[in-house]
Amino acid sequence: MKRTPTIWVMAGGTGGHIVPGLAVAEALRGQGYNVRWLGNPDRMEGRLVPPAGFEMVATRFAGVRGKGLFQQIKAPFSLGASVLRLFFIMLKDRPAVVLGMGGYVSAPGGVAAWLARVPIVLHEQNAIAGMSNRWLARIARRVLTGFPDALPNGVWVGNPVRESMTRVESPDVRYAQRQGPLRLLIVGGSLGALALNEVVPDALGRMPESSRPTVMHQSGQVHIEALRQRYAQLGVKAQCVAFIDDMASAMAQADLMICRAGAMTVSEVAAAGVAALFVPFPFAVDDHQTANANYLVEQDAAVLRQQTELAVDWLARWIEVQDRKDLAAYAIRARQFAKNDAAIEIAQHCVDCMRRSS
């Protein structure tokens, strides 16, 4: 009886690597392939991957960028031990292809795959590639990117987004149906964005009440009570939430979104088609969030403002002069630059690479 091919997905550390990895894993499983996940069971992937029905291959290798001297000295030994262990697991498991979706776990997994002569397919989500992917791109059989020109010889396929984002009604229809105050959505991510939590309420507080938009502000669990108190003290009505379970619905209802510029956020802004003011996280490695945002900003499909320039007075004036018709134009242009079939394309590249190697 013919053995069903197994494909490994390597991703870990942050949702920006794990969520798109899960989308591809589900696409591969839907085509009948066995999928195993290489990651650290003690990190975020350990909470997200098993409930999705994927078996994990554990590695506890940790990244070293920004770590102390001792960790950097220790890293080569830790990497070598992880590579050796994963090499023998691969010889036993015989994956047909290994898909690297970024994060520190890709380093030992990629090297082990190369030593075991397992084809590597690499996907880089950000507009500026991370350290692991820059190195692994040299030995990968195929290199895919979420944004154009992120890696030499990369094939631009986009970033896998939640299917619900692609089903959002067209922005030209959504915006045309609306009347009344603008609808503002502020998204700080799972941990929240303290700068947005401080500046946005103050800016709204300086606007005349008649000019204020309706407000939904996602802050992260840590900051939720302080944020509610801040809005209350300013006399600004706002729906403050720690998390948003249905982000597609929240984005579909918004006229304007103020947010960071992680790879998945930018890709989802395009997929849903919503006007966005990007405020990149200023301490992101290689300032990759600015590069991500520029994918839409350079097409006049979004607006960018650096955190150092996000003054309360400026933001208050800027929000007050926004017009729903102009915001609709941003949203329509953003959707024109969406690549909504990324998960299927990445899965197909894995299958194609597997067939060429068999």
Helices of type H across the chain: 15-30, 44-48, 69-93, 106-115, 131-136, 163-166, 171-176, 194-206, 224-234, 247-253, 263-272, 288-297, 312-320, 324-336, 342-357
CA distances, 42 to each of 45, 49, 51, 284, 349 (Å): 8, 12, 14, 23, 30
Q: What secondary structure letter does DSSP report for 139?
A: T
CA distances, 221 to each of 11, 16, 194, 227 (Å): 25, 19, 12, 10
Handedness of CA 29, 351, 61, 220 (dihedral sign): negative
Is 34 annotated to bind a ligand? Reply is no
Is 178 annotated to bind a ligand? Reply is no
Is 162 annotated to bind a ligand? Reply is yes
Closest CA to 175 of 330, 10, 349: 330
Is 348 annotated to bind a ligand? Reply is no
Q: For the CA atoms of the chain, what is the radius of gyration?
A: 22
Question: Can you read off the two tokens belonging to residue 318?
Answer: 């800027």
301 touches 336 (CB < 8 A):
yes
Question: Can you read off the two tokens belonging to residue 252?
Answer: 């579909």
Which residues are within 8 A (CB) of 42 and not within 5 positions of it... i.e. 6 or more apart? 60
Is 244 annotated to bind a ligand? Reply is yes
Is 190 annotated to bind a ligand? Reply is yes
Sheet strands side by side (includes 97-100): 55-58, 34-39, 6-10, 97-100, 120-124, 142-145, 155-156
Q: Could you list the residues known to form a binding site, using ranges.
A: 14-16, 126, 162, 190, 244, 289
Q: Could you list the residues known to form a binding site for UDP-N-acetyl-alpha-D-glucosamine, using ranges.
A: 14-16, 126, 162, 190, 244, 289
